[in-house]
Amino acid sequence: MKKALLLLGLLGLSLMAPVTAAADELVDMAQKLYPNDNVQAINRPKSSLIIDGNTGDVLWQDNIDEIRDPASMSKLMTLYLVFEAIKEGKISEDTVITATPQDQAIASIYEISNNKIRAGVDYTVAELITMTAVPSSNATTVMLANYLSDNDPDAFLDRMNAKAQELGMTNTLWFNASGAAAVSFKGYYNPQNYDNFASNQTTARDLGILAYNFVKNYPGILNYTNKAKVTVKEGTANEETFETYNYSLPGAKYGIEGVDGLKTGSSPNGAFNYIATIKRGNQRMIAVIMGVGDWSDQDGEYYRHPFGNALIEKAYADYEYKKMLPKGEQEIDGQKYKLPEDFYATVKKGSKPKLKVENDVLRSENELTTLSDHVSDGMQVEKVDQSITKAIQDVASGKNEGKAWYTLLISDKLLILLPVGILLLILYFEYRSRKKREAMKQARRRRIDWEEE
């Protein structure tokens, strides 16, 4: 009996070994990158993701669809809507928002992240963005949300959830604008149609989608998140300086090359999380790390970065963002296409993936999946109508003239080719005239030959 149990135990261990080894790959990478930092498997992220920020191709994924609490990374959606409003001309970075007594009261709540906001003081939208992104102030987040929604928190949450669906964040639900449950605001922020006790819900995949779209559509956010230390209201009585919680930024504790954003977040339910944006040369990466450590150990805000940095370095070591074809007319699988710009693709270093066009979309067959159906790593191209090209050549040479002219006349591109057509007409009539002159010369020679006989 004991032997049987021993065999069963060994069998169980052998079955578990490959899973454990795969699960510990990230731990091994982090330990090798930071051998003196006591990186522990117990702090391993519950979810992790690396994507190419240019194409949306997934370069690493682990448990990216588990629903988790993003904590203060929720503020990215509020900021996304702020930047959208700026683009639409509804506000600008210089728009002034005057703090209310309610804003000051929120800023005084010790239990949630904040900074000093004083009633009656004017703050620009740019200053509020900085204080939302870097010290992760809940007060400034609500100030921005209230300004965009005429102090209607439910209307703003409706917009947050609608935008999430629009971007393809299918497993995301927002209950508050900042990542802190509404009940934490002690009555100063009180949505009526949403559960005030609920935490926001999202996934690493959905946060990757949000970060991808943010950097692509509103890269100006990186001007607020790319420094290890920032100051607002400099030279005034309300001056404040903040140090980033994103310790992967150059100049911070775990700073590495190219990191220029984006947001951190932590909570009792969600543990420690962060999103890093990185650019080296023309290659952009985005990393999402969720669920590092345990809330009881506040050093988790440091533990997350060795894991994230290890994934970032692996992605840059394994993949490159490479120019595959120059703009202009190119032949792919025997068919000619017109490329509106140079075509780049994410490829594994040392590989030469095949290019393929489907439904007039050019893609690289790089064996990578994209983050979602809303994200495309392809380029829209235009098929070159080779029948028209051949018809033009035939008209110019006088070959198959009738068929060639018919092809041109029925083409919907005739108007586009009108200048070329006029030139071809001139060439055509010149050609006919030349043929006629040659025929007359030949007739003359025959007549002369006949007279001489």
| Residue 327 confidence (pLDDT) above 60 | yes
pLDDT for the residue 241: 98
- With a pLDDT cut of 90, the percent of the chain lying above it is 74
pLDDT for the residue 427: 77
pLDDT in tens, 13-46: 333 333 333 458 999 999 999 999 999 999 999 9
pLDDT in tens, 373-397: 888 888 999 988 766 556 666 666 6
pLDDT in tens, 275-318: 999 999 999 999 999 999 999 999 999 999 999 999 999 999 99
pLDDT range class, residue 219, cuts 50, 70, 90: very high
- CA dihedral 159→163→165→170, nearest 10 degrees, is -100
Ranges 147-151, 301-305, 358-362, 437-441: which has the least confidence: 437-441
Architecture in CATH for domain 321-383: Roll (2.30)
Q: Which two tokens stand for residue 250?
A: 């150059």
pLDDT range class, residue 268, cuts 50, 70, 90: very high
Higher pLDDT, 10 or 45: 45
Query: Residue 156's closest CA among 193, 198, 103?
Result: 193
Stretch 242-260: mean pLDDT = 97
pLDDT for the residue 445: 72
Q: 45-319 with 321-383: one CATH topology?
A: no
pLDDT for the residue 442: 77
| Residue 3 confidence (pLDDT) above 90 | no
Query: Which fold, 45-319?
Result: Beta-lactamase (3.40.710)
pLDDT for the residue 423: 72
Query: Residue 353's closest CA among 338, 367, 369?
Result: 367
Query: Residue 412's closest CA among 383, 381, 382, 385?
Result: 385
pLDDT for the residue 334: 86
Stretch 146-168: mean pLDDT = 98
Query: Residue 361's closest CA among 343, 387, 388?
Result: 343
For the entire predicted model, the pTM comes to 0.82
pLDDT in tens, 405-446: 556 555 655 555 566 667 777 877 777 788 778 877 777 777
Domain segments of the chain: what residues?
45-319, 321-383, 386-452
3 state SS for the chain:
CHHHHHHHHHHHHHHHHHHHHHHCHHHHHHHHHCCCCCCCHHHCCCEEEEEECCCCEEEEEECCCCCECCHHHHHHHHHHHHHHHHHCCCCCCCCEEECCHHHHHHHCCCCCCCCCCCCCCEEEHHHHHHHHHCCCCHHHHHHHHHHHCCCCHHHHHHHHHHHHHHHCCCCCECCCCCCCCHHHHCCCCCCCCCCCCCCCEECHHHHHHHHHHHHHHCHHHHHHHCCCEEEECCCCCCCEEEECCCCCCCCCCCCCCCEEEEEEEEECCCEEEEEEEEEECCEEEEEEEEEECCCCCCCHHHHHHHHHHHHHHHHHHHEEEEEEECCEEEEECCEEEEECCCEEEEEECCCCCCEEEECCEEEECCCCCECCCCCCCCEECEECCHHHHHHHHHHHHCCCHHHHHHHHHCCCCCCCCHHHHHHHHHHHHHHHHHHHHHHHHHHHHHHHHHHHC
pLDDT for the residue 376: 84
Stretch 346-352: mean pLDDT = 93
Sequence-distant (6+) residues with CB within 8 A of 369 are 57, 58
| Residue 158 confidence (pLDDT) above 50 | yes
Stretch 140-163: mean pLDDT = 98
| Residue 114 confidence (pLDDT) above 50 | yes
State the residue for tokens 């309300």: 238
pLDDT for the residue 5: 39
| Residue 67 confidence (pLDDT) above 60 | yes
| Residue 11 confidence (pLDDT) above 60 | no
pLDDT for the residue 426: 80
C-alpha 312/C-alpha 410 separation (Å) is: 55
How many alpha carbons lie under 13 Å from residue 215 in its C-beta half-sphere?
A: 29
